[in-house]
Structure 1
Amino acid sequence: MTDELYDELDRIFAARDRDDMAPTIAALQPIYQKHPRDARVLYETGGAYDTAGDESTALGFYERAIAEGLDGDLRRRCFLQYGSTLRNVGRLDDSLAVFARARAEFPDSVALGAFEALSLHAAGRRDSALASLLMLLADHVDAEDLNRYKPAIRGNAEYLASLDEPTSGGAR
C-alpha cells in the first residue's frame, strides 16, 4: 500500500499549480484522513499549505512529520521548509534551533546552510550570516580561482562569526 500511496502523492504534486494550491490541498485531504500518522503524507500536506501561504497550518504538519519519523532526503527538506517557515512567521529563535538540529543531522547540506544564513540575517546576526555563507563557499565550491584562498575565506568567516558572539559584559 505504501508504494501506491506515495505514487498517488507524486501524481498530485506533478499536477499542482503553485499559484492555486486549493486543488492540491483538496486532493491531499482524503489521503491525510486515511493516513494521519504517515510521515510523508504529513510532510507533503504541510508543504501544500505552506505553498498556499497558510504557514501556521503548515508548521503543525511539519512538526508532526518529523515526530512521526520522516527520514532521508524528505527529512532534510522538511527541516529546511520548517525552519524557513518559522523565520517567515517571525519565530527566529525557533528557526535557528531547527536549523542547528538539521545541520547536525545533515552537515553537508548546502541548502540547509543557505537557509540557515537567511535566518541568522533575519535575527540580526548579519556577521554570522555572512560567515556561514563564506564557509559554505569554502567547503562546497571547487573553483580554481577560489581554492587557493580558502584558508583566508575560512579565517575571515571565523572572525565574522566571532563578532556576533556575546562578550563577557553580555552585550553584542
Structure 2
Amino acid sequence: MSETQEAIRLREQGTDEARLRLIELAERNPQDAVIAYQTAWAHDSLGFEAEAAPYYERALATEGLSTKDRHGVFVGLGSTYRVLGRYEESLKTLRRGLGEFPGDAALRTFLAMALYNVGETRDAAGTLLKVLAETSADTGVQRYRRAIEYYADHLDDVE
C-alpha cells in the first residue's frame, strides 16, 4: 500500500494521524491534486475548516482529479467557505461547481444554505424545495411534486 493510500485509509477512519501524514505528503507533492484534496478533506472532517480551504483551492488549481473528486472539492470548498463566513466565495464556488455538474443536488443544497446566509431567503427556500421534489422518495412529496416545484418559484404568490 502506498503512503497516499495508507493516509486515505486513515482519513476514512477519521484519525488526526491521517491529517498529519497528509500534510507531510502535500508538502512533498505540492502539485498533486489528489493529495491536496485528501488533505483538505482530512482537515475539514476534523473541524479545521480554515486549514482545509487552501488545500481545496490547491486541488482545484491543479490537474489530476477524477470527476468524482473534482465534484467533492466543489462541495467541500463551497461548504467550507460558507462555514467560515466567506459567503460570496461560497456562492461563487458552488455556482462554478454547478457549471460543471449541472443540477447536482448536493451542490444545490449547499448553495441554498449560502443563499440563506446572504439574505436571499426566497431563492434559498425555492432551491431546497426543488431539490426535495426531485430527490425525495417520500410518497407524499412525490404525490405533490408538481405543486412543490411550481411553488418553489412562486413562494410569494397569493390569491
TM-score normalised by L of structure 1? 0.79
Aligned-residue identity in percent = 32
Task: Report the more deviating stretch, 30-39 or 3-12.
Answer: 3-12
Q: 2:139, 2:127 → 1: CA distance?
A: 21
How much has 1:142 moved relative to structure 2?
4.0
Which residue in 2 is equivalent to 1:106? 101
- The CA RMSD measured in Å over matched residues stands at 2.3
Which residue in 1 is equivalent to 2:145? 150
Distance 1:74 1:161, change over 3 A: farther
Q: Does 1:81 align with 2:81?
A: no
Amino acid at match of 1:48: A
Which residue in 1 is equivalent to 2:91? 96
CA contact (8 A) 1:12 1:27 kept: no
Q: Does 1:38 align with 2:36?
A: no
How much has 1:29 moved relative to structure 2?
2.8
Q: Does 1:25 align with 2:19?
A: yes
Q: 1:139, 1:125 → 2: CA distance?
A: 21
Which segments of 5 or more consecutive residues in structure 1 lack a partner in the other structure? 163-172
Q: Does 1:9 align with 2:7?
A: yes
Q: Does 1:117 align with 2:115?
A: no
Which segments of 5 or more consecutive residues in structure 2 lack a partner in the other structure? none
> Which of 52, 56, 66 does residue 62 from structure 1 map onto?
56
Which residue in 2 is equivalent to 1:165? none
TM-score normalised by L of structure 2? 0.84
Q: Secondary structure at the match of 2:153?
A: helix
Q: Does 1:140 align with 2:131?
A: no
Q: 1:65, 1:127 → 2: CA distance?
A: 33
Amino acid at match of 2:152: A
Distance 1:57 1:76, change over 3 A: same
